[in-house]
């Protein structure tokens, strides 16, 4: 039985194989937060654009230090002063342009104000407290590479160049279908045998944090023909069709059969725990095809599957390398476990101690126990057929969304 299971790596390769990067669109920078740069951006300007003072103080020539200098001018931020007369100093403020001739700034706490001028200490080297033009960015160099996620620092960097709009990748459009007659929405009264749909909001939030747009939400009854119709409809709307539930082996599990009927099943039954029945494939549409990811219904299986498969798929569609791999951290295990044929992705809390990271596992690792994901910031990867003892080093995938 074990040899029928596909490895996670093989399945991921199959999922990403042939996925094309989405087209780009131009957006004002104020609307581009979280989006992914379609092209590399070249700096137009030196930043800072002129030599300027890093301190409130006095701009001088280093050769003139160690004596009292008269103040010949005052330069506030936003002003450009005149060339500095030899043997004088300029009162200057943080961000003020260094006057021609001056080569250092003495912070005001280090000087003494005298009647005849300002006493400047002698130990001030040329360049002190001067922020050189182009120290941060040189015009003509690459400012940001294609594939950069436009988060806080990158948005600031674009603004520092006076850039107002950027070419970003269109967001992947996702259809998220929940299967299962027993699954109802919060707000509806819960009858015997029913459960609320926890997968939908959980996955929607994760997908949005990964950079996708969830454009279609639907509930699919346990009926083969309707499942086929709803998958075909979703494929027309979306780049990626995701289902939850209905991929196992029961008579009411129609998703896999519908996928095989409409399109192609690339992978099913993976050597992972949780998430064994996860199904990957493609669905045809009028123009091209949509990728298909069938997540098992158990909430933790969906949660783990989203991190392992949906995040890299979105990364591939967006041309964003950081989304394609989760950071790997080696930690000291605070738990012991043993695996069989499936690689186990255990929900753990990584604790960053001065002595090094520690991984503490949630006690109940069952795939229906969503509580195990609440405090988890990582998945500890326990290879198949292995034993982990307390104190061993364990590799963890750090769950960073973007
Ligand atoms: N005979 C076998 N039975 C099962 C196997 C197997 O190999 N042989 N695999 C088990 C494993 S492992 C998993 S995982 C599940 C996955 O099954 P499905 O993907 O077909 O999921 P469902 O049966 O539809 O649901 C499983 C479970 O999750 C609940 N669920 C479904 N959708 C939601 C939702 N949106 N929100 C919250 N909970 C949901 C559902 O009620 C079930 O309890 O199959 C095992 N069985
Ligand atoms: O693969 Mo299932 O998710 O173990 O319960």
How would you label 182-200 residue by residue, b for 16+ Cβ within 10 Å and e otherwise?
A: ebbeeeeeeeeeeeebbbb
The rounded mean pLDDT for the chain is 96
Q: What is the pLDDT of residue 70?
A: 98
User: Are residues 177 and 243 in contact, defined by beta-carbon separation less than 8 angstroms?
Assistant: yes
**Residue range 258-272: average pLDDT?**
96
Q: Which atom of ligand 1 is nearest to the CA of 198?
A: 36
Query: Considering the domain boundaries, does residue 274 fall inside one?
Result: yes
Q: What's the pLDDT band for 250 if we cut at 50, 70, 90?
A: confident
What is this model's ipTM? 0.97
**Could you tell me if the CB of 199 is within 6 A of ligand 1?**
yes
- β 41-42/142-144 pair status: antiparallel
Q: How far apart are CA 147 and CA 316, in angstroms?
A: 10
For residue 180, the ligand closest to its alpha carbon is 1
What are 12-59's pLDDT values in tens digits?
Answer: 999 999 999 999 999 999 999 999 999 999 999 999 999 999 999 999
Q: Is residue 178 part of a domain?
A: yes
Across residues 244-256, what is the average pLDDT? Answer: 89
Of the ranges 77-81, 144-148, 311-315, 355-359, which one carries the lowest mean pLDDT score? 77-81
pLDDT tops 90 at residue 1: no
What is the reported pLDDT for 309?
Answer: 98
Residue 2 pLDDT > 60: no
The candidate with the shortest Cα–Cα distance to 277, out of 254, 259, 301, is 301
CATH of the domain at 36: 3.90.105.10
Q: Are residues 308 and 202 in the same domain?
A: yes
Cα–Cα distance measured from residue 266 to residue 185, given in angstroms and rounded to the nearest whole number? 31
Q: Is there a single domain that holds both residue 291 and residue 248?
A: yes
Q: Please check whether residues 179 and 278 belong to one and the same domain.
A: yes
| C-beta 195 within 6 A of ligand 1 | yes
What is the Å distance from ligand 2's center to 390 Cα?
A: 24
Residue 156 confidence (pLDDT) above 60: yes
Q: Is residue 282 part of a domain?
A: yes
DSSP 224-260: HHHHHHHHHHHHHH-SEEEEES--SSSTT--HHHHHH
Q: Summarize pLDDT for 357-383 with one digit per residue, the tens.
A: 999 999 999 999 999 999 999 999 999
Percent of the chain with pLDDT over 70: 99
Structure confidence by residue, pLDDT tens digits, 61-107: 999 999 999 999 999 999 989 999 999 999 999 999 999 999 999 99
Pair 77, 183 in one domain: no
Task: Work out how many domains the chain is built from and give that number.
Answer: 4
Say if residue 202 is in the same domain as residue 268. yes
pLDDT of residue 401: 83
Paired residues of 357 in beta bridges: 352
Cis amide prior to 274 (ω within 30 degrees): yes
Q: What is the domain-level CATH number for residue 347?
A: 2.40.340.10
59 C-alpha to ligand 1 centroid (Å): 72
* 175 and 301 together in one domain: yes
Q: Is the pLDDT of residue 3 over 70?
A: no
**Residue with CA at minimum distance from ligand 2 atom 5:** 367
- Give the range of the structural domain holding residue 36, as residue numbers without chain letter: 25-42+145-169
Do 126 and 153 fall into the same domain? no
Q: Say whether pLDDT at 393 is over 70.
A: yes
Residue 171, C-beta contacts closer than 8 angstroms, at least 6 positions apart: 22, 35, 211, 212, 213, 318
**Same-domain check for residues 178 and 311:** yes
Question: Which atom of ligand 2 lies closest to the CA of 368?
Answer: 5
Assess whether 309 and 205 both reside in one domain. yes
Q: Say how far apart CA 89 and CA 62 lie, in whole Å.
A: 11
- Structure confidence at residue 251 (pLDDT): 83
What's the 250 CA to ligand 1 centre distance in angstroms? Answer: 9
Q: Compute the C-alpha angle 47/48/52, nearest 5°.
A: 170
- Weakest-pLDDT range from 74-78, 206-210, 237-241, 380-384: 74-78
Ligand 2, CB cutoff 6 Å, lining residues: 273-276, 296, 298, 301, 367
Q: Would you state the pLDDT for residue 252?
A: 80
Are both 204 and 81 inside the same structural domain? no
């Amino acid at each position: 039985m074990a040899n029928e299971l596909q490895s996670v790596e093989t399945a991921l390769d199959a999922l990403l194989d042939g996925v094309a990067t989405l087209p780009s669109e131009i957006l004002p920078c104020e609307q581009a937060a979280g989006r992914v740069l379609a092209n590399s951006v070249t700096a137009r300007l030196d930043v800072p654009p002129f030599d300027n003072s890093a301190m409130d103080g006095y701009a001088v020539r280093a050769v003139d230090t160690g004596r009292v200098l008269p103040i010949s001018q005052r330069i506030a931020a936003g002003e450009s002063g005149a060339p500095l007369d030899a043997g004088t100093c300029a009162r200057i403020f943080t961000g003020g342009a260094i006057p021609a001739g001056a080569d250092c700034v003495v912070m005001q706490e280090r000087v003494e104000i005298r009647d005849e001028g300002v006493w400047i200490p002698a130990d001030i080297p040329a360049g002190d407290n001067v922020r050189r033009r182009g120290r941060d960015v040189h015009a003509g160099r690459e400012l940001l590479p294609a594939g950069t996620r436009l988060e806080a620092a990158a948005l600031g960097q674009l603004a520092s160049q006076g850039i107002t709009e950027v070419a970003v990748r269109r967001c992947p459009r996702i259809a998220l279908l929940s299967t299962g007659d027993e699954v109802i929405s919060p707000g509806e009264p819960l009858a015997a045998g029913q459960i609320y749909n926890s997968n939908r909001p959980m996955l929607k939030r994760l997908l949005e944090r990964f950079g996708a747009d969830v454009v279609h939400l639907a509930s699919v009854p346990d009926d083969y023909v309707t499942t086929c119709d709803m998958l075909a409809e979703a494929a027309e709307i979306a780049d990626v069709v995701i289902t939850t539930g209905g991929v196992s082996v029961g008579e009411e599990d129609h998703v896999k059969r519908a996928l095989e009927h409409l399109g192609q099943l690339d992978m099913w039954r993976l050597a992972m725990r949780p998430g064994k029945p996860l199904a990957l494939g493609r669905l045809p549409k009028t123009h091209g095809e949509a990728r298909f990811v069938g997540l098992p219904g158990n909430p933790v299986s969906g949660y783990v599957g989203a991190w392992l498969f949906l995040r890299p798929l979105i990364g591939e569609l967006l041309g964003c390398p950081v989304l394609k791999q989760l950071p790997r951290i080696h930690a000291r295990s605070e738990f012991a476990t043993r695996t069989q044929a499936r690689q186990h992705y255990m929900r753990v809390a990584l604790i960053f101690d001065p002595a090094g990271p520690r991984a503490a596992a949630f006690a109940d690792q069952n795939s229906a126990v969503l509580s195990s994901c609440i405090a988890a910031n990582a998945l500890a990867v326990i290879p198949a057929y292995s034993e982990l003892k307390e104190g061993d080093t364990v590799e963890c995938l750090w769950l960073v969304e973007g």
